[in-house]
Amino acid sequence: MAQELTGTLKNIKDTGAITLGFRDSSIPFSYLDDNQKPVGFAMDICYKIVDAVTKELKLDKLEVKLNPVTSATRIPLMANGTIDLECGSTTNNAERQKQVAFTNTHFLTASRYVFKKSSGLKSIDDLKGKTVVSTAGTTNIKQLTEANVAKGLGANIIPAKDHAEAFLMVETDRAVAFVMDDILLASLVAGSKSPGDYEISKDAFSKPEPYGIMLRKDDAAFKKVVDAATAALYTSGEAQKIYDKWFTQKIPPKGLNLNTPISAELKNEFAKPLDSPNPDDYK
């Protein structure tokens, strides 16, 4: 070690522990399985980062602490040092980069809508004058609001507290469609009472947006280690294996299969890892 350790790396070295923030129901990225243990695609990536940090700090053993976070608590817990990495499905965008940093993108998702097949919707234009739900505070509700104005849909947009509640609104016919990241819609449909009743639109409200694992801002040394670890993982064939494990095979607790093969954009990103918040950079 030529230089003094600073920031997160120093904390990890001093305490001999790293803390991962996990989500309880962001299937298949980060959620609790039947043993109440956090598992998922983002968790697997985080454990790889932990290995790299252990190696970097030349430690024999690094204790991994797990701390549950919600969309509301992830920022304060990151700011006050409770968690070192947030392993979930947090969208990396320019606005949020003012507060936190993101490592290389681990998923790309576009904003689409889920609807009941019986309602016979075909395109975004079919939402004219209908009641549409989305989750408050998401980029999705923003895109929906913009499309509503731009296309003159005159749709009645209701905000929901969280994804589960928004999906319930479609399930109980309070809304005809729920606009959200397509992968989250896929997992909601797969986990619903009758998955066959629902369909996800071909039409998208946005270009694919990046999800990233979140870390503290202005901690260049730690970010360098984390970026190197994710880049090494994505460019090796191993990322594809981990991807398939969570997106094309049965996953706990109920043996659901999301049947979502890797997209061309994400394949490209894995070949050339990027941490950019700009959707245009992912072709």
- The answer to whether residue 137 forms part of the interface with another protein (CB under 8 A) is yes
CB of 244 to another protein, least distance (A): 31
CB of 12 to another protein, least distance (A): 15
* Cβ partners under 8 Å of residue 159, min gap 6: 133, 134, 135, 136, 141
Tokens of 6: 């600073």
- The SS3 call for residue 270 is helix
In terms of Cα–Cα distance, which of 45, 30, 50 is closest to 230? 45
- Does a cis peptide bond (omega within 30 degrees of 0) precede residue 28? yes
Segment contacting another protein by CB under 8 A, of 61-69, 160-168, 195-203, 271-279: 160-168
CB of 135 to another protein, least distance (A): 9
CB of 144 to another protein, least distance (A): 10
Segment contacting another protein by CB under 8 A, of 44-52, 60-68, 131-139, 254-262: 131-139
CB closer to another protein out of 59 and 136: 136
| Gyration radius from the chain CA atoms | 19
Residue 26 is classified by DSSP as: E
CB closer to another protein out of 35 and 172: 172
Query: Strand (E) positions, 17-99?
Result: 17-22, 25-26, 30-32, 38-39, 63-68, 85-91
Whole-number Å distance between alpha carbons of 111 and 157: 15
In terms of Cα–Cα distance, which of 212, 217, 213 is closest to 7? 217
Whole-number Å distance between alpha carbons of 256 and 258: 6
Tokens of 7: 């920031």
CB closer to another protein out of 30 and 138: 138
- The answer to whether residue 227 forms part of the interface with another protein (CB under 8 A) is no
Binding to another protein (CB under 8 A): which residues in 171-200? Answer: 172-174
Binding to another protein (CB under 8 A): which residues in 53-112? Answer: 71-72, 75-76, 78-81, 95-96, 98-100
- The answer to whether residue 145 forms part of the interface with another protein (CB under 8 A) is yes
Q: Applying CB under 8 A, which of residues 40, 216, 225, 258 lies at the interface with another protein? A: 216
CB closer to another protein out of 96 and 251: 96
Residue 156's CB is within 10 A of a number of other CB atoms, namely 13
Contact positions toward another protein, by CB under 8 A?
71-72, 75-76, 78-81, 95-96, 98-100, 131, 133, 136-139, 141-142, 145-146, 149, 156, 158-161, 165, 168-169, 172-174, 216-219
